[in-house]
Amino acid sequence: MDKKEVTIYDIARQLGLSPSTISKGLNGHPTISQKTQRKIAATAENMGYRFNTFAANLRKNKTNTIGLIVPRLNSLFVSQVIAGIEKATNNAGYNLIISQSLEHMEKEVRNVKTMLSNRVDGLLVSLAEDTTNFDHFEIFKEKNIPLLFFDRIPFGHNFPSVSINNEVAGYQVTRHLIEQGAKNIVHITGNQLRNVYADRYAGFRKAIEEAGLPLTDEQLIISELSEAAGIEAASAIIELEADAVFVSNDICAASLMNEIQRRGFKVPDDILFAGFNNDMISRNVYPPLTTVDYPGFEMGELAAKSMLSHLNNQSDINLTENIIIKSSLVVRESSLRR
C-alpha cells in the first residue's frame, strides 16, 4: 500500500500551528519569523513533505519553464546552442522543454501549440526550413508571452532575435577564395526561405560581382547540406569545372571534399574549399577545412539571458529587434594556394 502524502495540515498538527502559517513559512513569507520558518522547514523535511513547485507556480501564473523549438537535434551547432541555453536557464532556476520541428512547418505549428499548453513563461525558436508564414506565433504576442528567435529568424517581421551577420560572413569567405585566385566559385547552400542561407548567398554574390567575375544560376546549388548531399554534389562540381567551393555547413563541405579527392582531384591545388560553422569535423578532415566560426554556445547563452532578463523585468526584449553577435573567418589549408 502506498504511503500517504504528507500535507501542510500534517505539519500544522505536528507543530501546533495553523495551516496558513505553515504555507507562509514554506514560501518564505516576511510575516513569519526566520526562526519559525527554519522550524517549519526542518519539520517538513523530517516528515518527508514534498513542496509542489508546479502548483505554486500555477497560482502565481508562472511555471519557471522556457520552451525551445529547434529544426533538428542531430546537429553539433544546435547542441552547442542548447548547451548555452541550458547553462543560463539552469543557473536561473528555470526548466527547459525542448522540441524539434524536423524541418517542417506543420510540426513546428504543433510544437508551438504544445508549448502553449505547457504554459511556458517564454519561447525560444529557430525556424524550420519550409516555414512560410508566422501566424502560429501570434498567439504568444496576444497572450503577452515573450518570444525570441535565434539563428533562423523571420524575414520582414519585428520579432526580437539573435543572429550573426550572415551576409558579411558569406562575403568574407568568398572574398578570401577570390584573393587565393579562384575565378569559378560554386556556392552550395540550403533553402533560400531561411535568412541564414539567403544572406550567405547575398554575401557570396556581392563578392563575385565586386570582383567582376561571371555569375550563373548553375553556381548556386540548393541542397539539404547533409553528408549524402555533399557526395552527390561532386559530379556537378567537376562538370562545372569549379576551382573553388563555398558550402554553408562543414559536414557537407567535408563530405564533398573527401569525394572530390577520392575522384583524383587535389585540394587545394585543383579546387579550394570552405565550409561554415567551425564544427569539429572541419579540424579533423584532411586538409583542415577553412570555415566560419559561428559561436553557437554564446548565441544560446545570450538568447536565454535576454529572455530571462525580460522575465525578471530587468529589460524588454521587444525593444531590441535583432541582436548581432560576432562571427569570424577561420582560414585553414583547404583554401590556401601553395
For 189-226, the pLDDT digits (tens) are: 999 999 999 999 999 999 999 999 999 999 999 999 99
From residue 95, how far is each of 67, 92, 144 by CA, in Å? 9, 9, 20
Please count the other Cβ atoms lying within 10 Å of the Cβ belonging to residue 48: 10
| Closest-CA residue to 89 (of 307, 320, 317) | 307
Give the pLDDT confidence score for residue 125 in this predicted structure: 97
Grid cell digits, residue 82: 542548447
For the chain, how many residues are written? 338
From residue 287, how far is each of 54, 254, 283 by CA, in Å? 53, 9, 9
Helix spans in the chain (H): 8-15, 19-26, 34-47, 53-59, 76-91, 105-117, 138-142, 166-179, 195-210, 227-239, 250-262, 280-284, 296-311
For 74-86, the pLDDT digits (tens) are: 888 999 999 999 9
Residue 25 confidence (pLDDT) above 50: yes
Question: Which of the pair, 27 or 267, is modelled with greater confidence?
Answer: 267
Half-sphere exposure of 236 (CA within 13 A, CB side): 18
Give the pLDDT confidence score for residue 55 in this predicted structure: 52
Could you tell me how far CA 280 lies from the centroid of its own chain?
Answer: 17
Rg value, the chain, Cα:
26
Average model confidence (pLDDT) across the chain: 92
Give the pLDDT confidence score for residue 52 in this predicted structure: 60
| Closest-CA residue to 169 (of 331, 326, 333, 11) | 326
Grid cell digits, residue 63: 511555471
> What is d(CA 278, CA 80) in angstroms, rounded to the nearest whole number?
12
> What is d(CA 90, CA 102) in angstroms, rounded to the nearest whole number?
26
- What percentage of the chain has pLDDT greater than the value 70? 96
3-state secondary structure of 246: strand
pTM of the model: 0.81
For 106-118, the pLDDT digits (tens) are: 999 999 999 998 8
Q: How confident is the model at residue 322 (pLDDT cuts 50, 70, 90)?
A: confident
Give the pLDDT confidence score for residue 313 in this predicted structure: 86
Owner of C-alpha cell 529587434: 321
Residue 2 confidence (pLDDT) above 60: no
- What sign for the dihedral angle of Cα 20, 26, 32, 37? positive
Residue 170 confidence (pLDDT) above 90: yes
Give the pLDDT confidence score for residue 104 in this predicted structure: 95
Give the pLDDT confidence score for residue 299 in this predicted structure: 96
Give the pLDDT confidence score for residue 53 in this predicted structure: 54
Residue 59 confidence (pLDDT) above 70: no
For 259-312, the pLDDT digits (tens) are: 999 999 999 999 999 999 999 999 999 999 999 999 999 999 999 999 999 998
Question: Which of the pair, 338 or 319, is modelled with greater confidence?
Answer: 319
For 143-169, the pLDDT digits (tens) are: 889 999 999 999 877 789 999 999 999
Q: Structural domains in the chain?
A: 8-51 (1.10.260.40), 65-164+296-325 (3.40.50.2300), 166-293 (3.40.50.2300)
Residue partners of 3: CB distance under 8 A and separation at least 6: none
Give the pLDDT confidence score for residue 23 in this predicted structure: 85
> What is d(CA 260, CA 81) in angstroms, rounded to the nearest whole number?
31
121 within 8 A of 64, measured Cβ to Cβ: yes
Provide the 8-state DSSP code for 277. Answer: B
Residue 1 confidence (pLDDT) above 50: no
